[in-house]
Structure 1
Amino acid sequence: MTDIDTQFLRSLFDEEGSLHTAGRTALYRLYGLEGLLYVGISTCPLTRIRTHLQQQSWGPRVIGIQIDYPDDAHAAEREAVHAERPLHNVIFNGEAAPPPPDRAARLRAELAAQQRRLEELRAAVPESTTHLRLILRGITAAQTKIAKLARDAEGAEAAQLPPGRRPKRTKP
């Protein structure tokens, strides 16, 4: 593979390893041997699909993926789930398709979610390097305490065993 090919392939993905979507919402379909397993939407489709593959009981059965970028991904998802009946979608899989959500209401809900995310990010940023050092010191202290508690728990469990079955203690 040439450097130009490598650069092109890298340009398709962001830092998290997901496809660049330029803010567009993708509609994705996951297929198994038994047919369509799941339909979903995401602005980071590969990241979302990876989550399904790792966390859903049906994830290992996925053998095919289709990603599209419709103009209105929310409506496309609703229609696809209602018409195609994926095996593992719960929402929109009833007898009658739900009414389409009001576009303005959907945008207001997305705006509120993004504002909450921004506030969470702002709250997570230390105010100064001193705050960052304090946070790191707290993490180190917590790790030390966890290690000590783990050793103490192992010791307590070993003490409950009969004398002949106790493991020999090794120095850390």
Structure 2
Amino acid sequence: MADVDAQFLRSLFDEEGSLHTAGRTALYRLYGPEGLLYVGITICPLTRIRTHLREQPWGSRVIAVRIDYPDDPEAAERRAVRAEQPRHNVVFNGPVAPPPPDPASRPRTRLTVERRRLAELEAAVPESATHVRLLARAIAAKRRRIADLTRDLQDAEGAGVRVAPRPRKERP
């Protein structure tokens, strides 16, 4: 593989090995030979899809994946499930759609995930000076992300309206 190809492939993934999404939420569709199997949203599409493939009884039938990044992923997921009727979606496939999600639930979940990842990074034992620098950068980035998510959560809980996640700043 050419060096340019390797650099391109590395650029697709973040430090944790997930597909680099710049903080955006992905809408993904999983297809089988009989058609659409499942529609979902996630901030780590490859990790989530791998989980479905391993843990769902229908995972072995997945033959294709489609990933999109809509502006309002929650609404796009609701519309896709209601219109496309995937075989294995339970939520939104019934006669009455569930109510929209609590506006603070997404920032609260992201904040919990980022705090856990920060704790894991802070507990890591570095193997070399390079590892120390990488860990220090990752810890600083997680602390900034937690501060942003804390503000988003406070905004969402205070206003009671849906708050779009702040875009992540690109690394230099």
TM over 0.5: yes
Structure holding more helix per residue: 1
Q: Which residue of 2 aligns with 1:110?
A: 109
Classify the secondary structure of the residue corresponding to 1:28. Answer: strand
Amino acid at match of 2:123: V
Q: CA 1:106 to 1:34, structure 2 compared with 1: closer, same or farther past 3 Å? A: same
Q: Which residue of 2 aligns with 1:125?
A: 123
Q: CA 1:125 to 1:18, structure 2 compared with 1: closer, same or farther past 3 Å? A: closer
Aligned 8 A contact 1:92 1:98 in 2: yes
Q: Which residue of 2 aligns with 1:58?
A: 58
Q: Deviations over 1:33-73 (max 9, x none)?
A: 11110111111100110111011110010000000001111
Aligned 8 A contact 2:21 2:43 in 1: yes
Q: Deviations over 1:4-53 (max 9, x none)?
A: 11101111112443210111110000000111101111111001101110
Aligned-residue RMSD, C-alpha:
2.6
Percentage identity across paired residues of the two chains: 67
Amino acid at match of 1:45: P
Amino acid at match of 1:36: L
Q: Which residue of 2 aligns with 1:83?
A: 83
> Aligned pairs, how many?
125
- Structure 1: unaligned runs, 5 residues or longer: 127-172
- Structure 2: unaligned runs, 5 residues or longer: 125-172
- Pairwise CA distance, 1:111: 5.6
Q: Which residue of 1 aligns with 2:143?
A: none
Q: Which residue of 2 aligns with 1:26?
A: 26
Aligned 8 A contact 1:31 1:62 in 2: yes
Tell me the distance in 2 between the aligned counterparts of 1:72 and 1:11: 25
Within 5 Å, give how 1:141-152 maps onto structure 2: none
Name segments (4+ residues, structure 1) moved above 4 Å: none
Aligned 8 A contact 1:17 1:46 in 2: no
Q: CA 1:19 to 1:111, structure 2 compared with 1: closer, same or farther past 3 Å? A: closer
Q: Which residue of 1 aligns with 2:6?
A: 6
